[in-house]
């Protein structure tokens, strides 16, 4: 079975800044890590790999520096790491990103199972996984918290919904996006890190994908950021400066009284 895992490199910082002109994230000078929720997708793939003759490919789209993310995936146990990197991909929104990932899956597949994290911590949209599956024309299951069964006939999953949980069975190939409840990701071993250090990370650009320039990068992104603003928190604060705690408590009770009145009629 051929398994593909979609990974994203995200900023390892709360100090995320946006370019006010393009509305895209400024990534220079910010430490990066594998998107934490994607690690659960990778762990799912690795556990499947351990059950039989299966291979795991990880793919990410980003600048050359994102190679470190896919290299870490090799340290954890992935067989192949691919980075889609090209200046033409710059500024891509979820649609253009999914377009590139789907084209890669078409050209390098067919893959029996595609796994993704629920969402990325920098965008919080949860769109790339489902969009990629839709563009490939394969079944998609989101918010998956457990893999119940997987065999040649299909994959049975448990997914979280507002009312509780649902059990679905999908034919293969399918795309599944998992939540953090599906497993606990492993840490790379020392041998894995040694292997990853010398492993080959394939870099692929649009010359290989052969997508129309109007479908990729900023040009291929229908999402437009109209305005960027920083929320301002303002609170009216009154300081009690009396010397008696009892008088201070009485003053608070007086201020809260209008909000605590109960109509007993």
Domains and CATH numbers, the chain: 2-215 (3.40.50.620)
- The predicted model scores a pTM of 0.79
**Residues sharing a CB contact under 8 Å with residue 263, sequence separation 6 or more, in sequence order:** none
Q: What are phi and psi of 260, to 5 degrees?
A: -105, 0
- Residue 231 Cα distances to 26, 102, 228, angstroms: 19, 36, 10
The pLDDT, as a whole number, for residue 258 is 82
Closest CA to 81 of 55, 57, 47: 57
Percent of the chain with pLDDT over 90: 58
* Extended beta strands in 118-195, E state: 140-151, 154-161, 164-170, 174-178
Write the pLDDT tens digit of every residue in 91-129.
899 999 999 999 999 999 899 999 999 998 887 788 999
Asked whether 157 and 146 are in contact (CB, 8 A), the reply is yes
Write the pLDDT tens digit of every residue in 178-216.
999 999 999 998 999 998 988 889 999 999 999 999 999
Work out the pLDDT band at 150, boundaries 50, 70, 90: very high
């Amino acid at each position: 079975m051929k398994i593909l895992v979609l990974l994203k490199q995200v900023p390892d910082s709360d100090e995320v800044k946006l370019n006010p002109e393009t509305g895209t994230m400024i990534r220079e000078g910010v430490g990066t890590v594998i998107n934490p929720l994607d690690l659960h997708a990778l762990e799912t793939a690795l556990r499947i790999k351990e059950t039989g003759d299966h291979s795991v490919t990880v793919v990410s789209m980003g600048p050359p520096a994102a190679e470190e993310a896919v290299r870490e995936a090799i340290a954890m146990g992935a067989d192949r790491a691919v980075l889609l990197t090209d200046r033409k991909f710059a500024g891509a929104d979820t649609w253009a990103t999914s377009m590139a990932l789907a084209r890669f899956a078409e050209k390098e597949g067919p893959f029996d199972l595609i796994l993704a994290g629920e969402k990325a911590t920098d965008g919080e949209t949860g769109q790339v996984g489902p969009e990629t599956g839709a563009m490939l024309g394969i079944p998609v299951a989101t918010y998956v918290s457990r893999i119940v069964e997987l065999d040649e006939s299909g994959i049975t999953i448990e997914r979280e919904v507002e009312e509780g949980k649902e059990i679905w069975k999908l034919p293969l190939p399918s795309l599944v996006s998992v939540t953090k409840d599906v497993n606990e990701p492993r840490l790379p071993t020392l041998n894995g890190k040694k292997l990853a250090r010398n492993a080959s990370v394939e870099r692929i650009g649009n010359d290989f994908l052969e997508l129309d320039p109007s479908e990729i990068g900023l040009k291929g992104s229908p999402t437009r950021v109209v305005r960027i603003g920083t929320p301002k928190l303002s609170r009216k604060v009154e300081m009690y400066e009396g010397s008696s705690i009892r008088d201070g408590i009485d003053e608070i009770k007086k201020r809260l009284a209008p909000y605590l009145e109960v109509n007993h009629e």
